[in-house]
Structures are given as C-alpha cells and as structure tokens.
Amino acid sequence: MIHQGGTAVLYAKGDQVLKVTRDPADNQLLKREAIALRTIAAEADPTLMPYIPRLIETLRVRGHRTNLISRAPDGFVTLERVGVRDPRDIAWIWRRLLVAVGVAHSTGISHGAVLPRHVLVHPIEHGLILVDWCRAGRDPSDDVLAVTRCVAALIDSPPVRMRTFVDGCLARPPRDAWALLKELDDLLEDLYGPRTYRPLHL
C-alpha cells in the first residue's frame, strides 16, 4: 500500500497504481474517475496528456471497483511539500495547473477537487500531474478558482501587480483556463522578462 485516502486505497504495481475503493458504496466515485480519464484521453490534445493520469483498465475485486492508473515517476511530490516560495518558483506550477484543467475543460470534463494533495510536481524537471479525478463531472466547476487558491497560498512577497492579479482572480474567478494562462504569461513577461529555468529545491 502506498496511500490510504477517504475513498480509496492505492497499491503500487510497477509503473502503475491500483486504486481500490475502501467501501463498495463509493464505487460510483471511481466510475466517475474512469469516465473522465477515458474521455480526456480520447478527445484531448495528446501532446498535453502528461499532465493527466492514464487509465489502463477498470476491474472489480470482491465487489470493490478498482482503477488501474499510470503511476507518477519517482521524484514527484504533492504540492503540500512545496511550501511558500518566490513567485518565479510558483509561476511554472500555476501555468501547468491551468493547462491541466484547460485540457480537461476542452473535452467538457471538470476535475471538481483541485487541492494541493491532488497536485503532483517534479521540482527539478518541472513536471506536473493532476490526480484523483473521482469528483470529476461535466457540469461547470470552480476548477480555475481552485487552481488560483492552490498557488496563491504559496507565493511569497509577490510584486504589487501580481498580488493585484491574484486578488482579482480570487474575487472574480474566471472560467476560462486558457484565457487566464494568456493573461498570466503576459504578466510574468512584463515582471520578469523571458522565462528561465529555476530548479525548485525542497
């Protein structure tokens, strides 16, 4: 066992994760996850799929629904491990999270639970994977607001323009992840110039 959450228990199986409901009453949640991951894989831009887990197959084990999902490579940690950082260290996380939800939204899927524990990042390679799609659905959601909340809590001493930008996103949450990403990129370029690589040392 590698993790036990409120809904499911996760077991490592090579480069895959076996996700089993703790209670068969929660089987519907893993079914929602399977539908969401299948839809995104079938309809999204394949070049952006590294941000989304891959569903390999679904099973039933003694009445418990089970999803077999691709496992994040070694080196990924939850966003909870990152801690407060310079805005430039958080910028790439913010950008990639917006891409992850934007990819899903382009197929009509919303994540529904973008929380720090569901965001895996690779500090050195700047990889990101948005996991746990059990709350996914096709109704409008607050994914973009949730993304902003995740990163806002991590930004240390931002420039005034960035603080104003963040506050505006929290006060008047946008729905369009791609539009917000464009605004964010414009702001970052104005504040810091061309993007450069910054390793994130935990």
The per-residue pLDDT for range 76-111, each reduced to its tens digit, is 999 999 989 999 999 999 999 999 999 999 999 999
Q: How far is CA 115 from CA 60, 130, 170, 199, in A?
A: 28, 9, 15, 23
* Same domain flag for 85 and 171: yes
Same domain, 138 and 83: yes
Query: Among the three residues 17, 43, 70, which one is the final residue of a domain in this structure?
Result: 70
- Verify that 51 and 99 share a domain, yes or no: no
- Residues 146-168 have pLDDT tens digits of 999 999 999 999 999 999 999 99
Lowest-pLDDT range, 12-16, 54-58, 170-174? Answer: 12-16
With beta carbons less than 8 A apart as the criterion, state whether 139 and 110 touch: yes
Assigned domain for 10 exists: yes
Residue 199: which pLDDT band, with cuts at 50, 70 and 90? Answer: confident
Does 142 share its domain with 62? no
Residues 181-192 have pLDDT tens digits of: 999 999 999 999
User: How far apart, in whole angstroms, are the C-alpha atoms of residue 84 and residue 69?
Assistant: 30
Give, in degrees to the nearest 5, the angle at Cα 61 between 59 and 62. Answer: 145
Residues 86 and 181 in one domain: yes
Number of domains in the chain: 2
- The reported pLDDT for the residue numbered 8 is 87
pTM of the complete model? 0.94
Q: Which secondary-structure segment (H or E) carries 192?
A: helix 177-192
201 in a domain, yes or no?
no
Closest CA to 76 of 29, 34, 129, 36: 129
Do 125 and 145 lie in one domain? The reply is yes
Do 176 and 89 fall within a single domain?
A: yes
Note whether 36 and 108 are same-domain residues.
no
Range of the domain at 112: 77-192
What's the mean pLDDT in 165-175? 93
Mean pLDDT, the chain, whole residue set: 93
In this model, does residue 1 exceed pLDDT 70?
Answer: no
Residues 159, 84 within the same domain:
yes
Phi/psi of residue 10, nearest 5 degrees:
-110, 135
52 and 98 both lie in a single domain: no
Residues belonging to the chain = 202
